[in-house]
Amino acid sequence: SQQGEEDPQALSIQEGENATMNCSYKTSINNLQWYRQNSGRGLVHLILIRSNEREKHSGRLRVTLDTSKKSSSLLITASRAADTASYFCATDAGTASKLTFGTGTRLQVTL
């Protein structure tokens, strides 16, 4: 079953704009990760944030985590056409290690 939902389900922006995606989850977590998926195939790991962290940066990516609200956001700054993909958040509960994914946000970046 899915852990939670992502919002929006689809997002269309122009190149150079920022894209923000939100993820909500249901149970306590150890880590939250964001993945990108092109064309419905393999997922590429983008960034991991631990439950005791509130914000993390990696290049053009900024992730925030609010454990009190059970939510996270992914910000992609200065988007490029190559950022067009589906983005998923995934949580793990520690020792169990299996990932529970959200429903995903489909991002379309146009020239």
Partner 1 sequence: GAGVSQTPSNKVTEKGKYVELRCDPISGHTALYWYRQSLGQGPEFLIYFQGTGAADDSGLPNDRFFAVRPEGSVSTLKIQRTERGDSAVYLCASSLSPGTGIHTQYFGPGTRLTVL
Query: Given the complex with partner 1, which of 35 and 83 has the nearer CB atom?
Result: 35
CA distance 16 to 39: 22
CB of 41 to partner 1, least distance (A): 5
CA distance 46 to 49: 10
Query: Given the complex with partner 1, which of 18 and 45 has the nearer CB atom?
Result: 45
CA distance 80 to 3: 29
Query: Given the complex with partner 1, which of 15 and 99 has the nearer CB atom?
Result: 99
Phi/psi at 70 (5° precision)? 50, 55
Tell me which residues touch partner 1 (CB under 8 A): 1-2, 30-31, 33, 35, 40-45, 48, 88, 90, 92, 95-104
